[in-house]
């Protein structure tokens, strides 16, 4: 339980850092959030309205998203100030084998500097793909599109984060033989 809370805190801090450049000069409307925004206590209802069945998961709500005939668990939460919706896709646990191959890690860092708005994060030993969405004029169709886009980005980035490809089997170590 303590580890889950720590991971949620670290992920939240990383997403806050990402959000710091998103609309940083724009303040919410006086008296709270701009019209069409989701309030802190209304996120579960909003996600239900968007067609999901949100389940509390630490500081996040977990939603299951069907994409290309497969179900994926994604995490959603509002930033502490309510200005941003944080979306994240848990991708893979880091393998215990060390050293980790630098080309994959460097590739993820290079991808982070792209203009797609998706960021690879490391939360403990979990690789996560994250996206920060402005919470102004948010509608259910926008959230569905953003979650689908997050899964598209995860699929496109799979050559980088698919840890099974990091350590291909060595020749002659097939085990079991024919």
pTM of the model: 0.74
Give me the mean pLDDT over the 108-118 stretch.
87
Residue 176 above 60 pLDDT?
A: no
Contact 86, 36 (CB under 8 A): no
- pLDDT for residue 177: 45
CA nearest to 58, candidates 16, 1, 113: 1
Q: In angstroms, rounded to a whole number, what is the distance separating the alpha carbons of residues 39 and 53?
A: 18
pLDDT, mean over the chain: 80
- pLDDT for residue 88: 97
SS (H, E, C) 118-170: EEEEEECCEEEEEEEEECCCCCHHHHHHHHHHHHHHHHHCHHHHCHHHCCCCC
Write the pLDDT tens digit of every residue in 10-68: 444 454 444 444 443 343 333 334 447 899 899 999 999 999 999 999 999 999 998 88
- C-alpha distance from residue 157 to each of 95, 112, 154 (Å): 18, 11, 5
Compute φ and ψ for 160, nearest 5 degrees: -85, -45
Percentage, residues of the chain above pLDDT 90: 54
- pLDDT for residue 33: 41
- pLDDT for residue 29: 36
99 cis-preceded (ω within 30 degrees of 0): yes
DSSP state of 101: P
Q: In angstroms, rounded to a whole number, what is the distance separating the alpha carbons of residues 166 and 103?
A: 9
The domain ranges of the chain are 2-14+40-160
- pLDDT for residue 48: 96
Give me the mean pLDDT over the 69-98 stretch.
92
Q: HSE on the CB side for 140, CA within 13 Å? A: 10
Give me the mean pLDDT over the 168-176 stretch.
60
Kindly report the CATH number that applies to the domain delimited by 2-14+40-160: 3.30.1460.10
Give me the mean pLDDT over the 112-123 stretch.
88
């Amino acid at each position: 339980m303590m580890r889950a809370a720590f991971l949620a805190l670290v992920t939240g801090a990383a997403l806050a850092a990402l959000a710091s450049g998103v609309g940083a000069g724009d303040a919410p409307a006086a008296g709270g959030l701009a019209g069409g925004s989701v309030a802190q206590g209304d996120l579960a209802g909003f996600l239900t309205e968007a067609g999901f069945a949100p389940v509390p998961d630490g500081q996040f709500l977990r939603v299951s998203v069907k994409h290309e005939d497969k179900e994926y668990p994604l995490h959603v939460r509002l930033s502490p100030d309510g200005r941003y919706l944080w979306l994240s896709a848990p991708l893979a646990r880091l393998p215990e084998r060390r050293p980790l191959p630098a080309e994959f890690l460097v590739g993820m860092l290079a991808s982070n500097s792209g203009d797609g708005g998706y960021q690879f994060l490391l939360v403990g030993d979990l690789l996560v793909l994250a996206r920060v969405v402005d919470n102004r004029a948010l509608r259910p169709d926008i959230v569905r599109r953003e979650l689908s886009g997050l899964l598209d980005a995860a699929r496109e980035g799979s050559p980088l984060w698919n840890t099974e490809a990091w350590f291909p089997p060595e020749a002659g170590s097939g085990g079991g033989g024919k």
